[in-house]
Amino acid sequence: MADNFNKGMARNIYYGGGVFFFLLLLGLTFDTMLELPERDHRENITEAVAHGKEIWENNNCIGCHSLMGEGAYFAPELANVYDRYGAGNEEAFKQFMQSWMAMQPLPTEGRRKMPQFNLSEEEVNALTDFLIWTSRIDDNDWPPNKQG
Q: Please write the tens of the pLDDT for every residue from 115-139.
A: 999 999 999 999 999 999 999 998 8
69 and 141 co-located in one domain: yes
Q: How far apart are alpha carbons 148 and 136 in whole angstroms?
A: 15
What is the rounded (10 degree) CA torsion for 123, 127, 130, 136?
A: -140
Within 10 Å of residue 83's Cβ, how many Cβ atoms? 15
pTM of the model: 0.79
Residues spanned by the domain of 147: 44-148
Both 16 and 54 in one domain: the answer is: no
pLDDT in tens, 46-105: 999 999 999 999 999 999 999 998 999 888 899 999 999 988 899 999 999 999 999 999
Based on the fold, state whether residues 13 and 73 are members of the same structural domain. Answer: no
Specify the 3-state DSSP secondary structure of 120.
Answer: coil
